[in-house]
Amino acid sequence: MYTLSNKLKITAIVCMVLGLIGIAMGFLNAPSTVEEAAAIVKEASAHHGGGHAEAEEAHVMKMDHHEGEVAHHAEDEHNAESTHHAEAGHDEHAEHVFHQLQNRPWSAVLIAGFFFFMLSLGTLVFYAVQRVAQAGWSPVLFRVMEAITSYLVPGGIILFVFFVLTISHMNHLYLWMEPGITDHDTILAGKSGYLNSPFFIIRAAIFIAGWIGYRFISRKYSLAQDEATDDSNYKKNFKISVFFLLFFFVSESMMAWDWFMSLEPHWYSTLFAWYVFATMFVSAITVIAMSTVYLKSKGLLEFVNDSHLHDLAKFMFGLSIFWTYLWFGQFMLQWYANIPEESGYFLPRIEHYNPIFFGMVAINFLFPFLILMNSDFKRKPWFIFLAGTFILIGHYMDLFQIVMPSTVGEHWSFGAPEIGSILFFLGLFLITVTSAFAKTKVWLPKRDPFIEESKHFHY
């Protein structure tokens, strides 16, 4: 039986406290007036050396203007808009920067909050896939996966509260939520049938409730199967997993459009949802592998052999490549055609987020590709841990470049709010998952029909 060590508990709590301080600092340092925002921008550009400040501002104004142009292209009010820009140009720009600076702590919380949430959501999907596929190798890992998915509840609630605050205009993350925006933005007006606050929050509620609901029912059947005398619970679990997967792939697509693609509401990409899914899936399997290695090192999973690890590492390897395929599929198609309303998404990412945008490709693709190719390396626990750490860092960067360029633009940095959010959610994730480990009395699902095969699995 796993006992939650005090050291781990204290570490997790310290992480959460430090994280809260970091998040609070982020909110306190965010400007509360337009003038403060201007001062912050001025100070920041002074660090880059004088003279640069004006150039940068002028540049932002140009970008701003472009955005406006794209947005209003469909309208025949183009001339009227341009004069409007010229008159109120500077004020509008200052307000835009002000909103971006205010967005920073919110974005940091969204990124880290979703990152840890998706680790357990992806685990839940992997679990359901294993059940539906009637995999013979993985039943020994079911208890580990079930414990990791326990984070769905606190993580989901926090995300939901976050979105409630968002639709009540506490931040400016989603442009389409701004009051009155649809009056002069016909593109957003055209999308308002889908992108409107009440529908947005109802969808979020349905998704989160659906995922958590499946998790509870499936775990109930899974535990009942241990005590059962027949396989009826197993069969029920099979059926509900099939329906969960159907629900998940619809809800996940919409979740990706809602929570991430609508940060950039003038842009769209048809494979975006799959791209977010790939990020989620590969990180989750990495967490399953790392948890397995950790629990095995504690002597709790003596029935897990290096072939199980090898299989998990193969999934990490293969899905890293799958992620890269989708990333490149999305990037290359839009780069190649270079249609302004499509490439507008990648321009700020390449211009202002260059090391992150391309660095994550190296970390998420080249590193696992080279390190996890060798069959012997995939059986070494410390190798899995090393590769896993890099994969997780890489996919945090991935979410960072999905969210930040759309919400804070070029006024980004990696400081107190970002580190604080990571620490807070890391602490929460650690404490939730390890207490679920501590609650797991028996690590081997006893009466699973495939458990014998799984125990003797050898590759």
- Find the shortest distance in angstroms from Cβ 24 to another protein: 42
Residue 81 vs 306, nearer CB to another protein: 306
- Find the shortest distance in angstroms from Cβ 335 to another protein: 5
Residue 238 vs 325, nearer CB to another protein: 325
- Find the shortest distance in angstroms from Cβ 333 to another protein: 9
Under 8 Å CB-to-CB from 198, ≥6 apart: which residues?
A: 167
Q: Which of residues 415-454 bind another protein (CB under 8 A)?
A: none
Count other C-beta atoms under 10 Å from residue 184's C-beta: 16
Q: Does 83 bind another protein (CB under 8 A)?
A: no
Residue 58 vs 332, nearer CB to another protein: 332
Interior angle at CA 420, CA 148 and CA 319, nearest 5? 40
Tell me if 196 sits within 8 A of 262, measured CB to CB: no
Residue 229 vs 338, nearer CB to another protein: 338
Best CA proximity match to 293, nearest among 282, 304, 283, 284: 304
Under 8 Å CB-to-CB from 107, ≥6 apart: which residues?
A: 173, 403, 404, 407, 408
- Find the shortest distance in angstroms from Cβ 375 to another protein: 8
CA distance linking residue 398 with residue 394, whole number of Å: 6
Residue 243 vs 328, nearer CB to another protein: 328
Q: Give how many residues touch another protein by CB under 8 A.
A: 8
* Cβ burial, residue 452 (10 Å; 0-12/13-18/19+): exposed
- Find the shortest distance in angstroms from Cβ 143 to another protein: 30
- Find the shortest distance in angstroms from Cβ 332 to another protein: 5
Tell me if 294 sits within 8 A of 437, measured CB to CB: no
- Find the shortest distance in angstroms from Cβ 181 to another protein: 33
Provide the mask over 19-58, with x wherever binding to another protein is found by CB under 8 A and - wherever it is not. Answer: ----------------------------------------
CA distance linking residue 56 with residue 50, whole number of Å: 11
CA distance linking residue 266 with residue 187, whole number of Å: 7
The DSSP symbol for 4 reads -
Q: Which of residues 305-344 bind another protein (CB under 8 A)?
A: 328, 331-332, 335-336, 338
CA distance linking residue 269 with residue 256, whole number of Å: 11
Residue 199 vs 328, nearer CB to another protein: 328
Q: Which of residues 214-243 bind another protein (CB under 8 A)?
A: none
Residue 183 vs 337, nearer CB to another protein: 337
Best CA proximity match to 344, nearest among 65, 110, 98, 45: 65
Token pair 């600092």 in the structure block, residue: 25
- Find the shortest distance in angstroms from Cβ 306 to another protein: 16
Q: Does 355 bind another protein (CB under 8 A)?
A: no
Tell me if 213 sits within 8 A of 287, measured CB to CB: no
Under 8 Å CB-to-CB from 238, ≥6 apart: which residues?
A: 131, 132, 134
Q: Does 373 bind another protein (CB under 8 A)?
A: yes
CA distance linking residue 421 with residue 225, whole number of Å: 39
Residue 11 vs 343, nearer CB to another protein: 343
- Find the shortest distance in angstroms from Cβ 373 to another protein: 7
Residue 3 vs 375, nearer CB to another protein: 375
List residues near another protein by CB under 8 A.
328, 331-332, 335-336, 338, 373, 375
